[in-house]
Amino acid sequence: MNDTLKLFSLNGRRALITGSGRGIGLALARGLAGAGAAVVINDRNEQKAAAVAAQLRDEGLNADIAVFDVTERAEVSAAIDAFEARIGAIDILVNNAGIQRRAPLETFSADDWNDLLRVNLDGAFHVSQAVARHMLPRGRGKIINICSVQGELARPGIAPYAATKGAIRMLTKGMCAEWAGSGIQANALAPGYFATDLNRALVDDPDFSDWLCKRTPAGRWGRVEELCGAAVFLASSASDFVNGQTLFVDGGLTSVV
Ligand code: NAP
């Protein structure tokens, strides 16, 4: 491997990806593992996490598990501390776990609002804090916060989701402000529209799909594997002087009107 390619290697690094039992999280776990990382699959359900990790190991990848609900602060902290003590250092954290709720803003329920904030924003705060407490004394670490084009652009029916993603963008800059001097790079990866369970209602709506393909310069939905190159870059030494940024992987969506 030449020197430049070595910058992108994740050999010898361990990456925890929250909400990696399916969807984008699982694709990112596979992508980071493919670049050499030992990955840690997180799910709330131990059997599901174990099955996904076993599947990755069957594919020749290095995978372990950490079971916790990102919204449960004490549970998160205990799981991260136990993992660091029992298995070893978490070098890379991907805050991916997320949910979507859709309704007009004027009738949006307080319960749905609270659920969105608890998973999409509080979850990233709890997990980042628990992991950073171990990264900071080591003087190195990579944090990738999964944001969204909705951190930049609003759309009717998902204002609260957009608010969580806008907040994640600013939390990323805050992490940079506070932790860059301790060798941590925190950046956000903002996907455009990818066909996952989270977007099932949109994928199944031909009118939306038609609108999206016309609205996106690339003319199509994204494929989850297409997020991996950006994730490997942000997880690797190739991005050691990149901090507090949001990298859009959206087929050009946020570049045009
Ligand atoms: P998804 O297919 O619905 O997967 C969401 C994942 O998050 C699942 O593994 C889910 O676990 C996990 N999760 C939810 N609540 C959790 C909690 N409290 N604790 C731990 N894990 C939890 O969604 P996705 O499309 O892959 O989305 C992943 C991330 O990308 C989200 O942050 C989302 O906002 C973002 N994103 C997605 C798109 C897109 O087009 N799909 C675009 C922009 C941004 P369970 O299986 O247990 O529910």
Contacts of 24 (CB under 8 A, 6+ apart): 96, 146, 191, 194, 196, 224, 227
Of 8 and 197, the structure prediction assigns the larger pLDDT to: 8
What sections of the chain are H helices per DSSP?
A: 3-6, 23-34, 46-58, 73-86, 110-116, 123-138, 159-179, 200-203, 206-215, 228-235
Average pLDDT over residues 125-144: 98
Q: How far is the CA of 24 from the centre of ligand 1 (A)?
A: 7
The model's pLDDT over 26-38, given as tens digits with 9 standing for 90+, comes to 999 999 999 999 9
Task: Domain 3-251: give its CATH architecture.
Answer: 3-Layer(aba) Sandwich (3.40)
Contacts of 173 (CB under 8 A, 6+ apart): 244
Average pLDDT over residues 44-70: 98
Say whether pLDDT at 53 is over 90.
Answer: yes
Using CA atoms, how far apart are residues 124 and 115, in angstroms rounded to an integer? 13
Q: Which of ligand 1's atoms lies nearest the C-alpha of 120?
A: 32
Average pLDDT over residues 117-138: 98
- Quick one: tokens of 13? 């690094």
Say how many Å lie between the first and final Cα of the chain, rounded: 41
Q: Is the CB of 164 under 6 A from ligand 1?
A: no
**pLDDT confidence of 1, banded at 50, 70, 90?**
confident
In this prediction, residue 68 carries a pLDDT of 98
The model's pLDDT over 87-97, given as tens digits with 9 standing for 90+, comes to 999 999 999 99
**pLDDT confidence of 211, banded at 50, 70, 90?**
very high
Q: How far is the CA of 102 from the centre of ligand 1 (A)?
A: 15
Say whether pLDDT at 156 is over 90.
Answer: yes
Using CA atoms, how far apart are residues 34 and 66, in angstroms rounded to an integer? 19
The model's pLDDT over 216-241, given as tens digits with 9 standing for 90+, comes to 999 999 999 999 999 999 999 999 99
Domain locations along the chain: 3-251
The model's pLDDT over 101-124, given as tens digits with 9 standing for 90+, comes to 999 999 999 999 999 999 999 999
Mean pLDDT, rounded, of the chain = 97
Q: Is the CB of 167 under 6 A from ligand 1?
A: no
Instruction: Write the secondary structure of 139-173 as one string of H (helix), E (strand) and C (coil).
Output: CCEEEEEECCHHHCCCCCCCHHHHHHHHHHHHHHH
- Quick one: tokens of 235? 């997880």
Q: How far is the CA of 198 from the centre of ligand 1 (A)?
A: 7
Report the residue count for the chain. 257
Active-site residue numbers?
Answer: 161
